[in-house]
Structure 1
Amino acid sequence: MFDITQFSDTTRLAPAGELREFVEDHRDALLDTADWLGDRPGLRLAQAALDGLAGAGQVSRRTLRLLDDLRDLLMLGHVHAPTRHETPRLALIDPADPRVDEVCLLADGLSAAIDAYRDAVASSLRDPERAAT
C-alpha cells in the first residue's frame, strides 16, 4: 500500500542534512518559540538562523553562530543577564505553562542536531576518505 524506504545504517545524510532536516521539520515551532521567548528580536534571530540553512553545502560560521544564539534563547541561557532584551519577558513565563515542556524538547533537539553537525564536520576533517562514503 505505501512505498516505505528503509535506510540502512550505511546510508547517511550529508553532515548538514540532519541539521537541515531537523530545522525543516520544526521550522514553525522554532519561529513561534523564538517569538514567544524573545519577542521580535528573538523571531528575527530565528528567521536569520533558519534562512542561513536554506542554501546547499556547508553551513557558514555566521549561521552556526546564529543557531548557537537561538539554542541559547531556547535553553534560557541568558535568563539572569540584566542587559538582555528577553530577560524581563522570560521572568513572566509560568514554569507550569505546558509550552515550557515543548520548548525544552525543541531546545534539546536543536542542540543535538547542532552538535551532530559539528561532530560530523570534525570527523570528516580528521578522515576525509571515510566521510566521502
Structure 2
Amino acid sequence: MKIFPEHAFADGTAQEISTCPILAFVSSRCQGLWHAARLLGGYESARLVDRCIDILAHDECVTPRARMMLEQILAVLSLEKVDDPNLPYMGHFACIDPLDPVVEEICLLTDGLRGVLGLNVGETDNKRVA
C-alpha cells in the first residue's frame, strides 16, 4: 500500500487495504491521530504525526524510525509525560473536559495504536512484550 500525507487520507477516499496492521491503522485513523495529538500535545505533537505519516508514505513500510515516532505519538496519547513540568503537555491536557466525548475517542485511538504496535500499558520506549 502506498501511503500519502494527510490529504490522501481524506474521508471518502478509497484506500487499498494494507497487509501491515500498523499501516492500515494509521491510514484509516490518521486524521483522528493528528487531532488527538494536537489536543493533548499541541501543534508540536501534531507535526510529529505529520512527519510520521510522511515517513510511512515515503518508505511504504514501518521502519525503526517510523516505529519510534509511533511510540512517541502513543506516549502523547496515553499521557505518559503529562506530569513533566519541562514539557507543555500538562497545559493542553488540563484544557480538556473529562466528560467531553473526545476523551473516549482518544482512549480508543490509544488502545488501537498500542494494540497494532504490540505494546502493553506502559511499554513504550522500545520495551516489547516477549
Establish whether TM, by shorter chain, passes 0.5.
yes
Per-residue CA deviation, residues 44-83 of structure 1 (Å, 9 max, x unaligned), is 1111122221135542221111100000111111111111
Q: Is the 8 A contact 1:38 1:86 kept in 2?
A: yes
Distance 2:83 2:76 in 1: 12
Question: 1:75 is matched with which residue?
Answer: 78
Question: 1:100 is matched with which residue?
Answer: 103
Distance 2:58 2:118 in 1: 20
Q: Report the CA distance between 1:101 and its aligned residue.
A: 0.4
Count of aligned positions: 103
Distance 1:40 1:33 in 2: 10
Q: Which is greater in Rg? A: 1
Identity level (%): 31
The structure with the greater share of residues assigned to helix is 1
Q: Is the 8 A contact 2:23 2:61 kept in 1?
A: no
Question: 1:109 is matched with which residue?
Answer: 112
Normalised by the size of structure 2, how large is the TM-score?
0.71
1:47 aligns with 2:50: yes
Q: Is the 8 A contact 1:49 1:70 kept in 2?
A: no
Normalised by the size of structure 1, how large is the TM-score?
0.70
Of 67, 72, 92, the residue aligned with 1:64 is 67
Q: Report the CA distance between 1:86 and its aligned residue.
A: 1.5
Unaligned runs of 5+ in 1: 1-11, 117-121, 123-133
Query: Over the residues paired in the alignment, what is the CA RMSD in angstroms?
Result: 2.0
Runs of 4+ in 1 over 3 A off after TM superposition: 55-58
Question: 1:23 is matched with which residue?
Answer: 26
